[in-house]
Amino acid sequence: MTIVQSAVYEPLTEQKATALAVRLGLFRDGAPLLCREIGDGNLNLVFHIVDQETKQGIIIKQALPYAKVVGESWPLTLKRAVIESNALRTFASYVPQYVPNVYYSDESLAITVMEDLSHLQIARKGLIEGKTYPLLSRHIGEFIAKTAFYTSDFGMNQQEKKKLAQSFVNPELCKITEDLVFTDPFFDHDTNNFEDELRPDVEALWEDDRLRLEAAKLKRKFLTEADVLLHGDLHTGSIFASDDETKVIDPEFAFYGPIGFDLGQFFANLLLNALSRPESERRPLFDHIDQTWDVFTSVFSELWRTESVETYAATPGLLDEVLRQAFVDAVGFAGCEVIRRTIGLAHVADLDGIDQKVERLTAKRHALRLGRRLIVERAELAGTDGFRRLFVETER
Ligand code: SR1
Ligand code: MG
């Protein structure tokens, strides 16, 4: 992959994105190109350019100098485009089957040009439509296990790891998570966003000293533990899927952090989808949580036993302790993500898309009770069955 610095930054239009693709020689001469801006996330422009004859396409993703979800009043570093392309390249060296190919990057334009994945669907959309994606958790469990192990002090040269961690220092994007996931939802902060009817439930959270202490401990972990290279925003909107393929996209939040964080975000977004479904249709989501954890632990453990570079790796009990702590943290991080996607700045369509107001408020109250218990009882969950138990116990 090439990263170049060429033009002065300007937001692309569909015409300019097409001209850039032609200039880069990404299409044959004279190809009839159709370009559409399809970005529906919180932060970036995404151009989909297709040769109308061959149907072959590419994606040009461009960072905007502000958070699109709020507007120009919230400036945001363009460096996240470099973090994203470097993270995709690093992940590709371990799990090329689970990330898009990056064809080209330009730091000044803050763009990443990559493989067109439009034959797949964003997992959140598919899950909302009732799809189950039978291989999703097998693939995500392997993605997290391999990227975590090979970027940790157990899977790579420890001097090289420090240099890699330095190249993924990502303060502005981490601050978004520190604020929006770990802080604002637990205080009466103006970024919060929830229906008036939820105010008594939300105020009860804000007055809950036990919850606030546990959220503070989880935030401290996120701030201080440079354990493995994380995707940093591994929700179901950052995953393309079909029945047999899975691709992880959008790692602009990548940084070195606690091993349980990506697992927790993924678990939480499966739970958010389960919260939007009738009881009879929830099972695939809980099966995905079980399977993610099972695949993660078995792949990670095998790599630890066979490829570890750390002398202490063979010490009886150490691997068990690493996995135990990863699980407890993942449960707590999941709780924070469930709460923030319910009452914080960036909601999810799984809950907001519930048409009937009464049902929507019921699901959101359930989310708040579930998120709270995941945080405060994270050390007592014992295994992924605990997610089912707490889900049922917090239903009313
Ligand atoms: C201002 S950005 C809001 C959220 O969108 C991203 O996908 C992250 O999840 C972030 O917290
Ligand atoms: Mg994103």
Token pair of 370 as six digits: 């579930």
- Which atom of ligand 1 lies closest to the CA of 238? 7
Per-residue pLDDT, 5: 55
- Which atom of ligand 1 lies closest to the CA of 253? 8
From the CA of 69, the nearest ligand is 1
Ligand 2 center–CA 290 separation, angstroms:
25
Strand order across the beta sheet in which 3-4 lies? 3-4, 102-106, 111-115, 57-63, 44-51, 33-37
Token pair of 279 as six digits: 């009881």
Per-residue pLDDT, 396: 86
Q: What are phi and psi of 313, to 5 degrees?
A: -60, -35
- Closest CA to ligand 1's atom 2: 42
pLDDT per position as a tens digit, 299-315:
999 999 999 999 999 99
Element (H, E) at 136: helix 136-150
Angle between helices 283-307 and 136-150 (to 10 degrees): 30
In whole angstroms, give the CA distance from residue 364 to residue 56: 42
Residue 96 known to bind ligand: no
Token pair of 170 as six digits: 């990502």
pLDDT per position as a tens digit, 148-199:
999 999 999 999 999 999 999 999 999 999 999 999 999 999 999 999 999 9
- Closest CA to ligand 1's atom 4: 346
How does the average pLDDT of the chain come out, rounded?
A: 97
Domains of the chain, CATH where assigned? 14-115 (3.30.200.20), 121-394 (3.90.1200.10)
From the CA of 63, the nearest ligand is 2
Q: Quote the Cα angle for 87-215-170, to 5°.
A: 25
| Pick from 386, 291, 255, 292: nearest CA to 332 | 386
From the CA of 172, the nearest ligand is 1
Q: What percent of the chain has pLDDT over 90?
A: 95
pLDDT at 53 over 80: yes
From the CA of 67, the nearest ligand is 1
Neighbours of ion ligand 2 (CB under 5 A): 41, 250
In whole angstroms, give the CA distance from residue 356 to residue 164: 48
Q: Which amino acid is at 133?
A: Y
Residue 48: strand pairing partners: 36, 59
* Residue 333: Cβ within 10 Å count: 29
- DSSP category for residue 192: -
Q: What percent of the chain has pLDDT over 70?
A: 98
pLDDT bracket for residue 42 (50, 70, 90): confident
Q: What's the complex ipTM?
A: 0.98
Residue 210 known to bind ligand: no
Ligand 2 center–CA 100 separation, angstroms:
14
- Closest CA to ligand 1's atom 11: 177
- Closest CA to ligand 1's atom 3: 346
Residues with CB under 6 A from ligand 1: 42-43, 67, 69, 176-177, 180, 233, 345-346
- Which atom of ligand 1 lies closest to the CA of 177? 11
pLDDT at 68 over 90: no
Angle between helices 283-307 and 385-393 (to 10 degrees): 150
Ligand 1 center–CA 346 separation, angstroms:
6
Q: What is the mean pLDDT of residues 115-120?
A: 97
Ligand 1 center–CA 160 separation, angstroms:
30
pLDDT at 1 over 60: no
pLDDT per position as a tens digit, 324-369:
999 999 999 999 999 999 999 999 999 999 999 999 999 999 999 9
Q: What is the mean pLDDT of residues 95-109?
A: 97
Residue 44 known to bind ligand: yes
- Closest CA to ligand 1's atom 8: 233
pLDDT at 87 over 80: yes
